[in-house]
Every structure is written in C-alpha cells, then in structure tokens.
Amino acid sequence: MNITHYIRKSHPSEGGTFTLAVTLNKYLLKNEHKSFIVSTHNNFLKNFHKSDLIHFHGIWNIQSSILITLCKLFNKPYIISTHGMLNSWSLRKNRLTKIFFFKFIEKDNLENASYVHFLNKEEFKDSKNFNLRIKKFLIPNAVDDDFCKKELLINNKKIKGLYLGRVVKKKNIELIISTISKLSNINFTLDIMGPIEDINYYNKLKSMIMNNNLENFIFFRRPIYKDKNFLLKYNFLLLTSFQEGDPYVVKEAMAMSLPVIVSSNTRTDYVSNNINGYVCKNQNELKEILKNKISKKSLSMLGKNASDLIKKNFLMSKKIKNFLYFYKKAINDKNNII
C-alpha cells in the first residue's frame, strides 16, 4: 500500500496530530508499505496521484479540505482522524467560524470519508452532537515501542515534576500553580515546558508564581523537540486540562516509567489511582496528592506499573495491524465501487 498522511504543520509542537502521523509513518515503512507525510507548508499535493489512500490528521483546515475535494473528484479513498477536535472545548475557539465551516464544508468531508477514526468512546460521543452519517472505527493513540526501551536517568536530590504541552488556557495550568501555593511544605520542583501560544495566559501564570513566592519551585522551560530523552530526568508528569482527546504526552511519559497525575477531564481512563498514577476531580484532590503522595519510592513503583501498562496495551507495533485492516478495507471498498 501507498499511504499519504496529511497534517496541518509538520512540527512536534502540533502535538497528537503530528505524533500519530509520524508514528504510523514509521511502522508502515517497517511493515514494508510506502508512506509519506505532507503538510500545508510542505507541498501538500505531493504524492497525491501515487497514493492508494490519504489519511487526514485533524479537521477545521481549508488546505486539507482542498485535498479532500480532490479525493472526491478522483474517487480516492480517505480517512479522517478528528483528534478530539469535535469536543466542546475545542469548539469554543473561533466558534462562529467553525459553525459556518462545518455546515458548508466539514460535514460533507466527514460524511464522504471512507472512515472517521476516533481515539476513544468519548470522542465518538462528541460526534453524535453533529448528527453525522459516517463509517467509523476506534483505535487509541499508540506509542513508538522505542519509548519503552529507555533507562531512567533520575538521580535528582529533589523530586522533579513536569508539565509538558502548550501554554494555553485549555490546559488549566493555573490549577497546578494555585494548588502548589496552598502547600505548607513543597518537596518537589515543577518545570512547565511547551510552546507559549497565549502570551496573556503566560503572563498570568508568571504573575501567579511571583505573587505566591514560588520562583524557587516552578520554572518555565523552553520546549525540547529533538527527542524525548529529557523525560527521563523527571519523576512524574502533571496534566490537569479542562479537556483532552487522547493525550500522547501521558502515554509517552508512562512508557518511560513516569507516573502521571491527571485531571478526570483528560480522557485517560487507563490511569488508576495508586497503581500507575493519580486522577483528581478537583483542587482538593490534587492538593492531597501533591501533599501526601509525592515520594521517590512510591513514584518509582507507580512508574514501573505505568510502563508495564503501555507495553501491554498501547504500543504501535501491536496497533498497526488495526490501522492496516481499515486502510485495506477502505481501498478495496472504493475499488469495488469503481
């Protein structure tokens, strides 16, 4: 098979859309298929006619809609992964534009796809609000097996926590800072690492840190994109977003033996309290975790369990066969219609 993956921007700062496309591309090539990645800024028409199928990662994009129009004209099968972009929080940004775009463009794009790929049951439930007539399949995000082959480098005297992701309101980083400010004894430091997409929100967070005298405990760091080995220097990951699709950062951290502390809105039902991490429903629960559960011994045990869970359930070497099944079915179904 010859598969082309379309993403809005070919850069790690794109998050899950980029990571899934790159990981699928790697494992398709490993399985002796042809696979290419194109983007808005990288000749998005390249390989179109040679492709057996186009896999679009993400929605609400005019360039991908142009390419989808060509797929319809040339009767080429395509699959769309929505990557959580139909959830209520995502629709808040540019809401009126998205309502218009959905009515006149995106609805038709989705309904004419060979399949729409969802990451979890919650994402499928989101789609029901749009009354779509679609063929669908569900495969969760899966990590590159290489993430489970790393050895921990932790030798910190002080426990180090990490928030890794975009600095935007949706990520609810202020909850983390506010909760830490309420601790009488802080036995860890926290690095906030990721691209600053909302400068006003960033300035708000900086002010919170300064006003609560947390400059020696919470630090902003430049994002590192070259590789993820820096994760091995941390003891745990924090993610308290208002809403997520299926966050790759959580699975990649767990694969590298980092336990995770997540909010109940992150759609990470594989995280279990006191087994491979912690789930908090509100600030009081987060405070209790940060106050009483942060020790090297307990975090190390949870980290091992976290890595074991990823190895068992979320490796791309195991999930690629599911994608191959739907790729082949989409191509064969389209050829049979012709």
- Summarize pLDDT for 226-262 with one digit per residue, the tens: 788 889 899 999 999 999 999 999 999 999 999 999 9
Residue 281 vs residues 76, 211, 232, 241: alpha-carbon distances, Å: 45, 26, 27, 11
301: pLDDT strictly greater than 70: yes
pLDDT at 156: 65
Q: Is pTM beyond 0.85 here?
A: yes
Give the whole-angstrom CA distance, residue 71 versus residue 223: 36
Which of the two residues, 154 and 31, has the higher pLDDT score? Answer: 31
Q: What is the DSSP letter of 102?
A: I
pLDDT at 238: 98
* Mean pLDDT of the region 294-307: 92
What does the CA dihedral 211, 215, 217, 223 come to, rounded to 10 degrees? 110
Percent of the chain at pLDDT > 70 equals: 97
Structural domains of the chain in order of their starting residue, each with its CATH number: 2-142+316-337 (3.40.50.2000), 145-313 (3.40.50.2000)
Confidence category of residue 311, pLDDT binned at 50, 70, 90: very high
Give the whole-angstrom CA distance, residue 292 versus residue 49: 58
Give the whole-angstrom CA distance, residue 231 versus residue 150: 10
Give the whole-angstrom CA distance, residue 190 versus residue 215: 10
pLDDT at 94: 85
* Mean pLDDT of the region 268-287: 96
Helix orientation angle between 296-313 and 248-255, rounded to the nearest 10 degrees: 110
pLDDT at 155: 60
Q: For the ranges 283-287, 317-321, 334-338, which has the lowest average pLDDT?
A: 334-338
Confidence category of residue 88, pLDDT binned at 50, 70, 90: confident
pLDDT at 153: 56
